[in-house]
Structure 1
Amino acid sequence: MILVDGQPQDTVSALDRGLLYGDGLFETIRFAGDAAPLWSRHMQRLALGCERLGLPAADPVLLWREAQAARGDMTHAVVRITLTRGVGTRGYAMPALPQVARIVAAFPMPALDAALYRDGVRLHLCETRLAEQPRLAGIKHLNRLEQVLARAEWSDPSIAEGLLCDMRGHAVSATAANLFAVIGGVPVTPALERCGVAGVLRAALLEALPRLEVRDLPLHECLAADELFLSSSVRGILPVQAVGDTVFAPGPVTRAMQAHWRGLGFPMEQA
């Protein structure tokens, strides 16, 4: 089901600023039964995004009620919440009193191949680079053209994701997941102050991983890591099997984080 401003429908105005300018935010939230284990973290990031973009703060209680209504009787679902600045006058200037458009859509949880959690996924090293914009870094704004262009770089079904770097040659993330490396036994995840999305599962892992370093991760250092894995609030923890011709194997940190994911309340998908 799709709700627009609380009503069952699937259309918005052609003059909506989310459509015209990417002026808005979204969250993609996995439900396991009646629970959404990372809900509070999604709401925290949404609140940060509203503050950054100057949008009126969203009401988490209302969003929860609408997410449950949209989900209906789906046992396992993915709910996308989209907020836009709504309809305004022509041009980039923000409306003085924005009428935020609220779109809540639920979809069945896609099938996940347990072998990928056991053996890992292959990554394409993307030519598309992430531009630096600190004011937008971290939040999940509606403009995802960099990710769209990066995802268009491969069509091989055996490649599950792409590795994105910034303009300085630092590894940042996958197209739809955060990146973690284990280097000399120490977990490392790229700093996201200049570009990239600060994932909610990434935030949970920052609290769970001892001796974690958050810093720039040059590509050559990333490709020499002992382990690589991806984190996604929908897909969980995915080991990286290869980046191009560079091969990796799932290691103890990756397996521990998969166990942590299950401990958060998500089902086990490992083979």
Structure 2
Amino acid sequence: MVSIQNTPAAGSDPLRVFIDGRECNCIAVTERGLHYGDGLFETVLLRHGRLCQWQRHCNRLIHGAQRLGIPMPDIAQLVAEMTEIAHGSENGILKLILTRGSGGRGYRPPPAPTPHRLLFLYPLPPAPAQSWQTGVIVRYCHTPASVNPALAGIKHLNRLDAVLARREWSDPTISEGLMCDALGNVIGGTMTNLFVWDGERLRTPPVNRSGITGTRRALTIELAAKFGIDCIESALTPTDLECATGLFLTNAINGVWPVRDLAGQHYALEALPWSLLNAIVLASHTPD
């Protein structure tokens, strides 16, 4: 068994860990999630003791499990376990990992796997006010984004390209790094989806060959339609970003990050569609 150490004194360590419905910190060393990254994960915002945008996370998890051929746990049971681990916590971050379970040596999956579900409750880090009020600074990463249509869109456990990209900087003033594929198309951030504003419409990179179908990406596209703003999925290059009126990034925990500077180029935040951005943040932080 592998022990998952939990040291409450360290701010980034989980407050609680549940494995297959029980509070514990040990998992088998034969776990395929450990050996091959054979699994999926979701990172869910917890507000006022309730899960935010859970249905979008659940739909993506189901889609990813179907893509990988991993049996899904009972949703009602899963929600009950998530509610239990979150009990007593007003705000936080719930990370869910679903793996194929244990197996022997070799890539071939067991014919009848017994999946494992891991739940981690983390404290919600304080959000710097300037990230929303004055925007964030972003850079480009040298590490290319992986291109694989069979895995594109889903949140599988193989995130080494993002790990290598995130190793590229330690400057705390830089909030995110944008990654491009081998052809030079901008895919998104190491942990965010990208939206480009030209003053009239939004553009966002497609996720059919690379990247992740973010829950807040889907929310943004849906809300843009309600605001009468066209949102187009199209390939984007750094040149497209240089010519843009404005940029913003989305993810499940931060909601929206307006970009004020990308690789030294300044963007006027007041040019962004703030009515839409405010609606995204409100919906992102509203429990289901």
Same fold (TM over 0.5): yes
Matched, 1:260 2:275: no
The within-5 A match list for 1:80-95 is 80-95=95-110
Range that drifts further, 80-89 or 250-259:
250-259
Q: Residue 238 in 1 paired to residue 257 in 2?
A: yes
In structure 2, the residue corresponding to 1:42 is in which secondary structure? Answer: helix
Percent identical pairs in the alignment equals 35
Conserved in 1, the CA contact under 8 Å of 2:153 and 2:207? yes
**Runs in 1 of length 4+ with deviation above 3 angstroms?**
251-254
**Alignment of 1:247 onto 2:243:** no
Supply the distance in 1 between the matched residues of 2:27 and 2:200 (Cα, whole angstroms): 50
Q: Which runs of 5+ in 1 are unaligned?
A: none
Q: Deviations over 1:7-56 (max 9, x none)?
A: 11122111100000000000000011132230000000000000000011
SS of equivalent residue, structure 2 residue 269: coil
Counterparts of 1:121 and 1:59 in 2: how far apart (Å)?
40
Q: In the alignment, which residue of structure 2 is the partner of 1:212?
A: 231
Q: Which runs of 5+ in 2 are unaligned?
A: 1-15
For the 8 Å contact 1:67–1:105, the answer to whether it is kept is no
Distance 1:265 1:237, change over 3 A: closer
- Name the SS of the counterpart of 1:203 in structure 2: helix
2:89 to 70, 74, 82: 74
**CA distance in structure 1 between the partners assigned to 2:268 and 2:51 by the alignment:** 30
Shift of 1:254: 4.6
Equivalent runs, 1:57-206 vs 2, <5 Å: 57-206=72-221
Q: CA deviation at 1:256?
A: 2.3
Tell me whether 1:12 sits opposite 2:27 in the alignment.
Answer: yes
Cα distance, 1:21–1:232 mapped onto 2, change above 3 Å: same
Task: Tell me the distance in 1 between the aligned counterparts of 2:284 and 2:187.
Answer: 27
8 Å Cα contact 1:49/1:140 also seen in 2: yes
Residue 259 of structure 1: SS of its match in structure 2? Answer: helix
User: 2-side partners of 1:265 and 1:28: how far apart?
Assistant: 13
One-letter amino acid of the structure 2 residue matched with residue 202 of structure 1: R
Q: What's the CA shift for 1:228?
A: 0.4
Q: Report the CA distance shift for 1:113/1:244 in structure 2 as closer, same or farther (over 3 A).
A: same
Cα separation, 2, equivalents of 1:262 and 1:122:
19
In the aligned structure 2, how far is the partner of 1:262 from the partner of 1:223?
Answer: 25
Q: Give a deviation string over 1:73-132, Cα, whole Å, max 9, x none.
A: 111111000001110111000100101011011111111001110111111210011121
For 2:84, give the aligned amino acid. A
> Shift of residue 177 of structure 1?
0.8
AA matched with 1:212 = C
Q: Which amino acid aligns with 2:117?
A: R
Q: Deviations over 1:165-220 (max 9, x none)?
A: 11111111111111000124211111111000110010111111121111111221
Native 8 Å contact 1:120 1:239 kept in 2: yes
Q: Secondary structure at the match of 2:76?
A: helix
Q: Over aligned residues, Cα RMSD in angstroms?
A: 1.3
- Give, in whole Å, the separation in 2 of the partners of 1:116 and 1:135: 34
TM-score, scaled to structure 2:
0.89
Structure 1 match to 2:12: none
- Shift of residue 252 of structure 1? 4.9
Out of 57, 64, 71, the residue aligned to residue 49 of structure 1 is 64
* CA distance in structure 2 between the partners assigned to 1:123 and 1:191 by the alignment: 20
Q: Which residue of 2 aligns with 1:225?
A: 244
Contact 1:83–1:102 (Cα < 8 Å) also in 2:
yes
Letter in 2 for 1:101: H
Please state whether the residue corresponding to 1:87 is helix, strand or coil.
coil
The SS at the match of 2:248 is strand
Q: Could you tell me which amino acid in structure 2 is paired with residue 233 of structure 1?
A: A
